[in-house]
Amino acid sequence: MNKLLAAMLLFLAPVAFAGDVLHIYNWNNYIAPETLARFKEQCRCRVAYDTYGSNDELLAKLAAGAKGYDLLVPSGNAVESLLKQQALQAIDKKLLTNLKNINPSFLNSSFDRGNVYSIPYAYTTTLIGYNEDKIRQLGIPVNTWAAIFDPIYLAPMKGRVTVLDDQRELMAAALKYLGYSVNDGDEAHWRQAADVIMKAKPYWAAFMNTGYIRLLSTGDIWLVHGYSNDMFQANDAAIKAGKGIRISYTAPREGAVLALDSMVIHKDAPRADLAHQFINFMLEGRNAAELTNLTGSGSPNLDAMQYIRAGIVRNEGIFPGKQVLDKLEQLQDLDRRKRRLLSRLWTEIKLSP
Amino acid sequence: MNRFLQRSLLSGPPLLYLLVFFLLPTLIMVVVSFGWPGEQGGLAPLWLRDAQGFHLDLTLDNYADFVSTTLYLRLLAKSFWYAVLTTLICLVMAYPLAMLIAKSDKRHRNLMVLLVILPFWSNFLIRVYAWMIILGPQAGLSQALNGVLALFGWGPVSLLFSPFAVLVGLVYVHLPFMILPLYANLEKHDPGLMDAARDLGANRWQCFWRVTFPLSLPGVLAGSALVFIPALGAFAVPDILGGTGGIMIGNVIKMQFLEARDWPFGSTLSIVLTLFALGVTGIAAWLVRRRGGSYV
């Protein structure tokens, strides 16, 4: 009998240990493996790590009833939506000794005044990336959205341009091109933006969210509308391929979208304590720097700057200067009527010849 | 009684399965298609509470939005033509192959059937992505084709990101679903029928057209339904291979549940698609039955 009990205890022991699990739901490729390994060591817990490819995927999964996540890393508009659903819990800042490392200009965003629920993790900008030699040869200006919308510039690049397959991002670029805010809600302005997109569409090769990283690095595609961290990856891939293709990226002078991804804790988080530990851990300069060095995302962490490779710090595409930063805007969440209207416009855009 | 018990035991589990995982979800979707979208996605509550107590809060708005523009009908028509073309191409390609397998030596048949289903061993998405490379501008196929076109002084064409690529992908993915039911049917044909037809003076063409083909109509119908219906709702293939023009109704339905977070409208589109698919297959079955007479 005793032996049986002992055997049962042996079976139970690892289960008790497995109880210390932090469930993280983060973007694809958005943490350095060594950072995660160090965190597990420090907190003496396991981490169940799930990933998503877009804010929509995250929101759709939670809306469909996914449970058990402690920590999420949504962009501003998704934080806004989660807050409206009352799906988040307030963060106990007394536990965040490293919060002072965050650059104040990334605090107090409109979606969460006072950062009651969200702590900045990293940011990306949506901009124009291009094959340096090809674009210089063709003499196309890359500091304006005209590069992806004006048929005059597009004609010599026909079939060599891709844009994001993302309703909000592409509309935001078109709205900026027309001189409106990315959050302009006027239906007439949306119409105008959709017309701009439909006029340019015949010249584009495809709508693409990740595929352009490879195509840009191989030289198949010359100019893309995409995310700054993806351009960083594309440049890396081009250097590794060694075919002499050079990739650059700049934020257009009209302004662009800034996506600030923040750490938030789910209302029903089973382990809010571990989530707080993780947030504080990621606020350490060294850990935040590893993220930027690996992925090329911008860091809101002032203490991280000393650990980030010099080439990245100097890259204006990743760390935009003050002038550009002032023109970047974060997307705001849309209400249900606007979402349906946008999806109809998007269907029209996709179906147009 | 014993017999009844036996029957219900055998047919009960699959019936229950279909009831719970097909009929019930479909009914839920019908209800949702008359609901309001939730402010942050999902579904708004179906019941409202006011002074008169609880009452249902349903709407025809979603269907009104569907018919308020020709957009969604044009989309449905486009998807329909893609599905019809896919079905026809699959039929033309699968028929000779199924016949070849059915007529070959018994020892080889199983191997050949195995080869037909072999692609299923690898993931569907990986196989579609492979076409992205095969049809890509740097690949041999594009280079060769454009080389030939250049000889005639024609400009280069892009195979990838075109309706052609979508069609290639759809045919590739669905071909086995046409071959297998056709083979299952053709294999059962009595070879004596051919002898009889020939004895009565039919040539090979007549043998096929007046004996084999009519007898195979149930297989043709089953294969066509298995290809047409999933092709009509396809979304991954047009997404990956279609480029800027690659959109079918399946993509727009997916969009409602992801980007738009609009379950009611997504459900409305799904219901319309289901009814449309049922209608088309119903008409097709009726036409075949009328022409095929007693064979089907």
d(CA B285, CA B296): 9
Residues A117, A144 within the same domain: no
3-state secondary structure of B54: strand
Burial class (CB in 10 A: 0-12, 13-18, 19+), A353: exposed
Q: What is the pLDDT of residues B185-206, one digit of tens each?
A: 999 998 888 889 989 988 888 9
Q: How confident is the model at residue B1 (pLDDT cuts 50, 70, 90)?
A: low
What pLDDT was estimated at residue B259? 87
Domains identified in chain B, total number: 1
β-strand pairing of A21-27 with A223-227: unpaired
Quick check: B189 and B256 in contact, CB under 8 A?
Answer: no
pLDDT tens for chain A, 353 residues long, are 455 555 554 444 444 455 699 999 999 889 999 999 999 999 999 999 999 988 988 998 998 888 999 999 999 999 999 999 999 999 999 999 999 999 999 999 999 999 999 999 999 999 999 999 999 999 999 999 999 999 999 999 998 999 999 999 999 999 999 999 999 999 999 999 999 999 999 999 989 888 899 889 988 899 999 999 999 999 999 999 888 899 999 899 999 999 999 999 999 999 999 999 999 999 999 999 999 999 999 999 999 999 999 999 999 999 998 888 899 999 999 999 999 999 999 999 999 98
What pLDDT was estimated at residue B8? 84
What pLDDT was estimated at residue A281? 97
Q: Which residue matches tokens 């995927």?
A: A57
Q: Is residue B26 part of a domain?
A: no
Burial class (CB in 10 A: 0-12, 13-18, 19+), B289: middle
Q: Which residue matches tokens 């008409």?
A: B283
Q: Distance (Å) from the C-alpha of residue B66 to the closest C-alpha of chain A?
A: 10
- Average pLDDT for residues B233-238, to the nearest whole number? 93
Mean of pLDDT over chain B: 90
Number of C-beta neighbours around residue A31 at 10 A: 23
Q: What is the pLDDT of residues A10-54, one digit of tens each?
A: 444 444 455 699 999 999 889 999 999 999 999 999 999 999 988
The pair of structure tokens assigned to B286 is 């009726």
Residues A338, A193 within the same domain: yes
Residues A190, A279 within the same domain: no
Q: How confident is the model at residue B251 (pLDDT cuts 50, 70, 90)?
A: very high
Residues A137, A183 within the same domain: yes
Number of C-beta neighbours around residue A280 at 10 A: 18
- Continuous H helices in chain A: 2-18, 33-43, 55-63, 76-84, 132-138, 146-149, 151-154, 167-177, 187-200, 212-218, 228-241, 272-282, 285-295, 310-314, 322-325, 336-351
Which domain covers residue B181, as residue numbers? 69-295
Domains identified in chain A, total number: 2
The distance of Cα A274 from the centroid of its chain, to the nearest Å, equals 24
Quick check: A122 and A261 in contact, CB under 8 A?
Answer: yes
CATH code of the domain covering residue B224 = 1.10.3720.10
Residues A234, A339 within the same domain: yes
A59/B138 CB distance under 8 A: no
What pLDDT was estimated at residue A16? 41
d(CA A169, CA B270): 27
Residues A95, A8 within the same domain: yes
Of B158 and B62, which is predicted with more confidence?
A: B62
Q: What is the pLDDT of residues B131-177, one digit of tens each?
A: 988 998 778 888 889 889 988 888 778 888 889 999 999 999 999 99
Q: Is residue A306 part of a domain?
A: no
- Average pLDDT for residues B3-14, to the nearest whole number? 86
Q: Among B53, B7, B6, B46, which Cα is nearest to B30's? A: B46
pTM for the whole structure:
0.86
Residues A191, A104 within the same domain: no
Q: Is residue B117 part of a domain?
A: yes
> Phi first, then psi: what are they for A25, rounded to 5°?
-125, 105
ipTM attached to this prediction:
0.85
CATH code of the domain covering residue A136 = 3.40.190.10
Q: Is residue A321 part of a domain?
A: no
Residues A33, A54 within the same domain: yes
What pLDDT was estimated at residue B268? 97
- Average pLDDT for residues B107-122, to the nearest whole number? 90
Across the interface, of A63, A220, A343, the residue whose CB is closest to B256 is: A343
Q: Is residue A278 part of a domain?
A: yes
Q: Is residue A302 part of a domain?
A: no
Q: Is residue A171 part of a domain?
A: yes
Which domain covers residue A72, as residue numbers? 2-121+260-293
Residue A321 identity (one-letter amino acid): G
- Average pLDDT for residues B252-265, to the nearest whole number? 92
Residues A265, A343 within the same domain: no
Q: Is residue A305 part of a domain?
A: no
Residues A105, A131 within the same domain: no
d(CA A212, CA A210): 5
Q: What dihedral do alpha carbons A250, A163, A338, A194 form, nearest 10°?
A: 100
B39/A159 CB distance under 8 A: no
Asked whether residue B184 carries a pLDDT value surpassing 80, the answer given is yes
Residues A42, A147 within the same domain: no
Q: How confident is the model at residue B293 (pLDDT cuts 50, 70, 90)?
A: low
Q: Is residue A115 part of a domain?
A: yes
Given CB atoms, is A342 within the 8 Å cutoff of chain B? yes
Pick among A336, A342, A344, A346 to test the B interface (most B CBs inside 10 A): A336
Q: Distance (Å) from the C-alpha of residue A171 to the closest C-alpha of chain B?
A: 13
Pick among A212, A343, A346, A352 to test the B interface (most B CBs inside 10 A): A343
Residues A32, A134 within the same domain: no
Across the interface, of A64, A85, A206, the residue whose CB is closest to B40 is: A85
What pLDDT was estimated at residue B191? 86
Q: Is residue B81 part of a domain?
A: yes
Q: Is residue A308 part of a domain?
A: no
Across the interface, of B40, B71, B243, the residue whose CB is closest to A206 is: B243
